[in-house]
Structure 1
Amino acid sequence: MAIENINNLTNDFVLVWLDSTIETNKNHQNTKVLLQRLIRVRLLTFDDPDQCIDNITDEPLKRIFLIISNTFGKHVIPLIHEFPYIQSIYIYYGDQEKIEAWTMPYSKISGIFIKTQALIHKICDDVKVHDKNGDLSMSMFHLAEKENKLEQLSKESVTFMWYQLILKVLRLMAKYDSSKDEMIAECRTIYDSNAAEQMKINDFEENYSPIKALEWYINGSFVYRLLNKALRAQNIEIIFKFRFFINDLHNQIEQLYHQYLDNHSSIIDHHLTVYRSQHLDMEELDLLKSNVNELISMNSFLSATLNQEIAKLVADTNDQLNESSSLQWVIFIINISNISKEMTPFAFLKNSSCLQDEDQEEEEVLFTMGTIFKIQSVEQHENMWHIHLQLSKEQNELSQSLVDHTMKQSGSELDPLLFGWFLYRMSEFDKAERYAQLMLTQLPSNDKGSGNAYNLLGLIYQNVHRLEKSVECYEKALDIYSLL
């Protein structure tokens, strides 16, 4: 996966739904749940047109996708159609022929929808077109390479190890007190001209606590958006500023997982199956098909559902994209076997008291960042793709074995410089230098880690023939070591 710059962080999506029955129609309420789970954007609902228009005009830095009833559409759309931040408009329910008669002049209308599935699919398609950072972030490791030297790893396996090592280091670095302040400062900078988001950042600064990490993540806040964009772009600087939150979220997931184990300790040979509907392009699907029986790492926190019918409702459609299309709907079927404390943790969100919708019937689970699965099969069933993944303690053990092998190859121990040594051994000298310099801003000046960072810089500069700089860094490393 190519490393990309993280762009347009403030240009977030908002899904707006205007309908007089939005709060009373059970089908609308269920559709809201599906949209929030699939897209994870802010969803604003209104039953009053004036209030809706006022709120839309307050969101000039957002990209707005509008669902609107026919009753309101013919009066509201002429007023807001030319706003540049309106991306797409979806008319939900009504007589199609009558609606077509008045919608012809409006190019932003993406369709007239009677069926919920068609509406959901179209919104997902449109958001994906506008949001290239919305893709599922995943990487593969080829098991045949598990004993290879780092220099002999394929590009896919290198990316896999990149995420595994950065996660190890993030958790080590979370103990430094400045990390929360750094994250808040970064968020303020990104949302500098957005008063609404600044208020939410103030709320986070004043009221956040580690037991609220899940709540801040799953409810589509700025934390969710910025963290996932940084993870997809492999932006080390921003990822590190979120390290305390990543650590808190992992710890809360782990705590909920252990509570679940304690409550189900009487179950022998405990198994579960969870499901995730996902839009993949053909390149991603081909990558999965060519890596059956290999390992796959999900490089962010991954959600899924215990309710197979909800997954099928989203992915099962008569107009499923065909083989020639660049986009395909798939269902990840995740088999979790022999559930135990040795496995990578996951949390049942319904039991976490952090869902905004208390009436939500779906049982959703959240896997921690960097969870590793084995790809068992990728098969087409009628009008959709089924991707079977397996999670067990064996994947966890294998992951640790790969990290141990990488540490041996890098000549490093499990410390904050591990990731830098990995980059150095891969001859990524510019990236290794930036990482070591980053560590010098994070670690205490008299810490062994600072000495290790200068030692690494000395080796880097030696390799790029900057010998005076190399000697200077070696001397600084020796000065720190002499004080330990």
Structure 2
Amino acid sequence: MNIKPTTSMCSKNSNDIEIVRESGASSIKATGYQRFDLHKNHLIWLDESICDDNEDCYYTTAHLRSIACDLKSYSNVDECVLFIETMKDRKVYIIISGSLGQKVVPQIHDMSQIDTIFIFCGIEQRHKEWTREWSKVKGIFTEIMPICKSLKLATQRRQQNAISMSFIMSDEQTNQLNLNFIDTCMLKVVLATIPFGDADVLDYVNYCRDLFVDNEEELNNVEQVKCKYRQETAIWWYSRRNFLYYMLNHGIRLLDCDTLVRMGFLINDLHRQIEQLHKDQKSKEIFTVYHGQGLSKKEFKQLNKSKGGLMSFNSFLFTSKVREVSLRFARDNANDPDLIGILFVMKIIPKHSSAIFASIGDINTVSDEDEVIFSMHSVFRIEEIKAIDENETLFEVSLTLTDDKDLEFSRIMKCVQTESYQGSTGWFRLGLLLTDMGQMDKAEEIYKRLIDQETEESKKASIYHQLGWNKYNQKNYPEAILYYRKALEILEKILQPHHPKLATSYNNIGIVYGQLGDYSNARLSHEKALAIWKRTLLADDPSFGAYHNNIGLMYYNMGDYPNALSSYKKASDIWERSLPKDHPDRAMSYNNIGLSYENMGKYRKARSYYERAIKTVERSLPSNHPWTKQWKIDLERVKAKT
């Protein structure tokens, strides 16, 4: 039976984290130096006459590769259809020859993977009649360049629809907020403390050279960034809607920390330029802006549920003062059977809000749209949702920029500030956040770079401590011991013998020894921590609860359940006196007591403590927190035994 008690490890940082994630090993992966799938789609060319040695085919392929790196060419219909069926989480743009169109389009049109179909033929007139029946056929072309132009427009529409949003229902708890909003918001706060420079821009450029090695158009854009990018031109570059725009929005939507850290210079420069323009423009009059895009049916359902609540645009957001411009985007999406077209109508009352936005008519590259750009995480109240012209796939959504006095909004922003490691700065602070987000490899990369640069011994000890914490979370206990001991060696040299930081190190080393099955060293380390705490802390300090809990864990791992139970009860008594009623550590102690009783065969008592644990934790942690989920499993297991 694989049932494990919960460990109480001295905090990796002085701030207690309230908003929690699914697990220490996040399911969101950093991309590393893999090819960046810029548009998250596949482009397919299907034509029976495709031949590698043909000059026209070579010419066509070269132009299509300038639009999308992931180009697949097929001359066999069955092979092509089979490939499309494997694309479960991607969209496909397909160019079909006129000779195959009438046969293939009915076969693939209703596949969810198909986004857009183009017919590439010799005589346009032959295909006008039959293509009218198929809404995903977006054009009939006799030359490749117009197809490339249409593909660009299609991918721009797809990317505009990929802007990350978070919906916050009016009765939703702060600690149950959408994690993309919380994590990207905290990333923005932390990145702002890092002094990015020319070296960081160059590092990003080199990264992009590798990503776009087969894409001449984007490589040219990359070289322009290298030569011409300046902090004061960030909005101009972003408004060009090239790889900078797509990559940043992709990173925010997928919470791709590797990409976001590399683009930290752009995030900072954009925010600061918008902030400066906002100060210079001194907007006071109430005005309205518009934003058109498509939402999936699932997202639209979330939007409807959140009416009366809040929504955040998590990325930098372009809006227009011209209603028809944004409505056109919304209508284009309403014609897509997989999407709902949305026209956001946003009321802005500048004197009531500290949100950062600016008019960029003199800066942006789209001069006829009279655009206003909002910085990341602009939060709006959802006022009204209504159909446009009684169209079931086209809606107008009225939003109002949140008032600074809005209690719900204030609570959310206070939560973000509390959780963004305010006691630290720069790259170290970023490492703390990435660790908490489960991005262990990226955090380790940052810490190791800091170790090589750091000259102050106390800061080196902190970095080694964080590396130990990372390795512990990755269950690499031998390396965790190594890093914790490096931190301890430094602290023993620079601190007094009874300094609380030494107790933290001893405690954490004891836990790791316990995981390794070295109970003698585990007990010795815990006793050293206890000796210091007795000299420096009050009798009811929660740290004593942590000590007894961890001694209980040691006994539990040894199979000595009566002594484990005794230690867990001591921890529970201390935490009941020193912590709030709904504190997660109190719930943890109840569950650990339940585990001990269960292993002793006392199932009714085990069930009672499991129920207490769940009742306590439901008031303080979200339902998808790993503790909550595991403890419910524990309860169901013991119910089957009683």
TM (normalized to structure 1)?
A: 0.66
Give the 3-state SS of the residue equivalent to 1:413 in structure 2: coil
Alpha-carbon shift at residue 198 of structure 1 (Å): 2.7
| Paired residues, number | 398
RMSD: 4.8
State whether structure 2 residue 353 is matched by structure 1 residue 346.
no
In structure 1, the residue matched to 2:128 is 100
Structure 2's unaligned 5+ residue stretches are: 1-21, 42-55, 72-95, 102-114, 141-146, 497-642
Whichever residue aligns with residue 311 of structure 1, its letter is: S
Alpha-carbon shift at residue 446 of structure 1 (Å): 3.2
State whether structure 2 residue 459 is matched by structure 1 residue 431.
no
TM (normalized to structure 2)?
A: 0.51
State whether structure 2 residue 401 is matched by structure 1 residue 391.
yes
The answer on whether the counterparts of 1:305 and 1:365 sit within 8 Å (CA) in structure 2 is: yes
Is the alpha carbon distance of 1:451 and 1:408 closer, same or farther for their aligned partners in structure 2, counting shifts above 3 Å?
Answer: farther
In structure 2, the residue matched to 1:328 is 340
Whichever residue aligns with residue 235 of structure 2, its letter is: L
Is the alpha carbon distance of 1:436 and 1:374 closer, same or farther for their aligned partners in structure 2, counting shifts above 3 Å?
Answer: farther
2:408 and 2:424 mapped to 1: Cα distance?
17
Alignment of 1:68-467 (within 5 A): 99-100=127-128, 110-111=137-138, 127=155, 135-141=162-168, 153-154=175-176, 156-175=177-196, 178-261=199-282, 267=284, 270-316=285-331, 326-339=338-351, 343-352=354-363, 354-355=364-365, 360-381=367-388, 382-383=390-391, 384-394=394-404, 402=412, 404-405=414-415, 408=418, 412-413=422-423, 415-416=425-426, 417-418=428-429, 420-421=431-432, 430-432=438-440, 434-441=442-449, 444-446=453-455, 452-461=462-471, 464=475, 465=477, 466-467=480-481
Alpha-carbon shift at residue 197 of structure 1 (Å): 2.8
Alpha-carbon shift at residue 162 of structure 1 (Å): 0.6
Q: Of Structure 1 and Structure 2, which has the larger fraction of its residues in strand?
A: 1
In structure 2, the residue matched to 1:471 is 485
Is the alpha carbon distance of 1:102 and 1:134 closer, same or farther for their aligned partners in structure 2, counting shifts above 3 Å?
Answer: closer
Whichever residue aligns with residue 469 of structure 1, its letter is: Y
1:128-164 Cα shifts (integer Å, max 9, x gaps): 99x6895221224456566x6xxxx22x433321111
Alignment of 1:3-82 (within 5 A): 3=28, 6=31, 9=36, 56=63, 59=66, 61-62=68-69
2:421 and 2:67 mapped to 1: Cα distance?
51
Q: Of Structure 1 and Structure 2, which has the larger fraction of its residues in helix?
A: 2
The answer on whether the counterparts of 2:67 and 2:151 sit within 8 Å (CA) in structure 1 is: no
Alpha-carbon shift at residue 4 of structure 1 (Å): 5.4
Is the alpha carbon distance of 1:140 and 1:458 closer, same or farther for their aligned partners in structure 2, counting shifts above 3 Å?
Answer: farther
The answer on whether the counterparts of 1:439 and 1:450 sit within 8 Å (CA) in structure 2 is: no
Is the alpha carbon distance of 1:402 and 1:55 closer, same or farther for their aligned partners in structure 2, counting shifts above 3 Å?
Answer: same
Is the alpha carbon distance of 1:377 and 1:4 closer, same or farther for their aligned partners in structure 2, counting shifts above 3 Å?
Answer: farther
Q: Which moved more, 1:158-167 or 1:186-195?
A: 186-195
2:165 and 2:482 mapped to 1: Cα distance?
41
Percent identical: 20
Give the 3-state SS of the residue equivalent to 1:331 in structure 2: strand
Give the 3-state SS of the residue equivalent to 1:394 in structure 2: coil
Alpha-carbon shift at residue 100 of structure 1 (Å): 2.9
2:202 and 2:362 mapped to 1: Cα distance?
30
Whichever residue aligns with residue 333 of structure 1, its letter is: V
1:77 and 1:318 mapped to 2: Cα distance?
26
Give the 3-state SS of the residue equivalent to 2:377 in structure 1: coil
1:362 and 1:102 mapped to 2: Cα distance?
36
Q: Which moved more, 1:306-315 or 1:204-213?
A: 306-315
Alpha-carbon shift at residue 11 of structure 1 (Å): 5.6
Is the alpha carbon distance of 1:419 and 1:244 closer, same or farther for their aligned partners in structure 2, counting shifts above 3 Å?
Answer: closer
Whichever residue aligns with residue 285 of structure 1, its letter is: F
2:385 and 2:492 mapped to 1: Cα distance?
54
The answer on whether the counterparts of 1:295 and 1:375 sit within 8 Å (CA) in structure 2 is: yes
Whichever residue aligns with residue 240 of structure 1, its letter is: V
Is the alpha carbon distance of 1:220 and 1:396 closer, same or farther for their aligned partners in structure 2, counting shifts above 3 Å?
Answer: farther
Structure 1's unaligned 5+ residue stretches are: 15-48, 65-75, 82-86, 114-118
The answer on whether the counterparts of 2:379 and 2:401 sit within 8 Å (CA) in structure 1 is: yes
1:22-49 Cα shifts (integer Å, max 9, x gaps): xxxxxxxxxxxxxxxxxxxxxxxxxxx9
Is the alpha carbon distance of 1:197 and 1:310 closer, same or farther for their aligned partners in structure 2, counting shifts above 3 Å?
Answer: closer
Whichever residue aligns with residue 137 of structure 1, its letter is: S
The answer on whether the counterparts of 1:440 and 1:450 sit within 8 Å (CA) in structure 2 is: no
Is the alpha carbon distance of 1:413 and 1:390 closer, same or farther for their aligned partners in structure 2, counting shifts above 3 Å?
Answer: farther
The answer on whether the counterparts of 1:11 and 1:63 sit within 8 Å (CA) in structure 2 is: no
2:223 and 2:154 mapped to 1: Cα distance?
32
Is the alpha carbon distance of 1:282 and 1:201 closer, same or farther for their aligned partners in structure 2, counting shifts above 3 Å?
Answer: same
Whichever residue aligns with residue 349 of structure 1, its letter is: I
